[in-house]
Structure 1
Amino acid sequence: MPLPESTYPRENIHTRQITCNGFKRPDGLWDVDAQITDIKTYPLENSYRGTIEPGEPIHEMWIRLTVDTNLLVHDCIAVTDHSPYGCCGEITPIFNKLIGKQIAPGWTRLVKSLVAGIQGCTHLADLVGPATTTIYQTMAGIAKGKTENETSKPFYIDGCHAWSSDGEQVLTYHPEYYTGKKSTPE
């Protein structure tokens, strides 16, 4: 169900669009390509680019994360196609700092400490979050705990409320990892 209609008249000023695509590679690794685009509905004067026309991206940036089934980052590529300042694209190599890191509890904090703020790019750092959740969605049902010959704990258990180790989904689909109270027949 979409959001209800607003009870107030509104004028669209800004659109941010994030698109993520997940890929399985033949070498056993997984890629997610994530893109962020910011567009205004009015002309914007910019000291670096001149007039940015309505519908023309102010920001258009990309991240590619490459991981294995243990969620270890093998590669991270960042690209800035459009930005409001000439120096924005210069910072993209810093995202190599994510190579060799594992997506695990504390990942968001780690990303912020390595590639956000003045040493990085806020927009690209924020894009890592949707890319990460897309990795989970891409691998779910295919890798780690869902194939017949895989016996390790599925990566998504305890990753969200629905997959809490003491919840109904884990009890139903992965009872060997269930940590809640099992009901006993009366």
Structure 2
Amino acid sequence: MALPEPAPRRRLHRRRIELDGFRREDGLWEIEARLTDVKDGAFRLRFRGELAPGEPVHDMTLRVTLDDDLTIREVAASMDATPFPDCPGATAAFQSLVGVRIGPGWMKAVRSRIGSVEGCTHLFELLRPIATTAYQTIHPPPDSDGRPMLMNSCHGWRAGGEAIATLYPEWFRPEQG
């Protein structure tokens, strides 16, 4: 279903978040996420001066390398455009994710490793879609007990829903009510 027509308006800002999933020749997986913020009009930043329309306020990329178990083996972060000169210093904090597994408790594990002033809000924001893109890219096998890994993670994957009934009938549980 499409959105209804908006009221007359003028765009002022565009944030783009793009993610790509890759299979490496060595058998590992990479998920690369990029966030850009641009203004449609000229914009002044205290530390960078005047930015032309379309010149990025933020241009940041985060790449995680994963094994088949969704455990992070490598992390690379870059900041090609930032509003403040200190921002690139936050990229080092993301190395603390090496060894963490994407799965239940993922965001809690991330928060415990990348504190408020050690990390970067914008790179941190990329970690949730990195996880979902990893699932889409790798299509992990069911858990060791055969349970679908994504079961009960959202409405579409609920135990009483059509997807589980069709794809994993042995795990289907009729909904009450």
TM-score (norm 1): 0.84
Distance change >3 Å, CA 79–CA 48, structure 1 → 2: same
Gaps in structure 1 of 5+ consecutive residues? none
Q: What is the CA–CA distance in structure 2 between the aligned matches of 1:49 and 1:68, rounded to whole Å?
A: 39
Instruction: Determine the structure 2 residue equivalent to 1:165.
Output: 159
Q: Call closer, same or farther: CA 1:159–1:33 in 2, change over 3 Å.
A: same
Look up the match of 2:40. Answer: 41
SS of the aligned residue for 1:79 comes to strand
Q: How big is the shift at 1:14?
A: 0.8
Q: Percent identity?
A: 39
Structure 1 partner of 2:29: 30
- Which amino acid is 2:141 matched to? K
Match of 2:59 in 1: 60
Residues 1:69 and 1:160: Cα distance change in structure 2 (over 3 Å): farther
1:4 aligns with 2:1: no
Q: 1:180 aligns with which of 169, 173, 177?
A: 173
1:136 is matched by which residue type in structure 2? Y
Cα pair distance change 1:75/1:38, threshold 3 Å: same
SS state of the match for residue 99, structure 2? coil
Which deviates more, 60-69 or 12-21? 60-69
Shift of 1:138: 1.0
Deviation (angstroms), 1:144:
1.6
Q: Is contact 1:116-1:125 (8 Å) kept?
A: no
Aligned length: 174
**CA RMSD for the aligned pairs?**
2.1
Q: Distance in 2 between matches of 1:29 and 1:136?
A: 14
What is residue 100 of structure 2 aligned with on the other side?
101
Structure-2 change in CA distance of 1:69 and 1:165 (3 Å): farther
Report the equivalent of 2:19.
Answer: 20
Shift of 1:40: 0.6
User: How far off its partner does 1:181 sit?
Assistant: 4.1
- Give the CA deviation at 1:175: 2.7
For residues 60-101 of structure 1, the C-alpha deviation after alignment (integer angstroms, 9 at most, x for no partner) is 000111112222111121110100111111110110111111
How far apart are the structure 2 equivalents of 1:10 and 1:163?
37
Return the letter of the residue paired with 2:70. L
Tell me, in whole angstroms, the C-alpha distance in 2 between the residues paired with 1:109 and 1:121.
Answer: 16
Relative to structure 1, the CA distance from residue 26 to residue 170 in structure 2 (aligned partners, 3 Å threshold; closer, same or farther) is farther
Structure 2: stretches of 5+ with no match in the other structure: none
Structure 1 residue 116: Cα displacement: 4.8
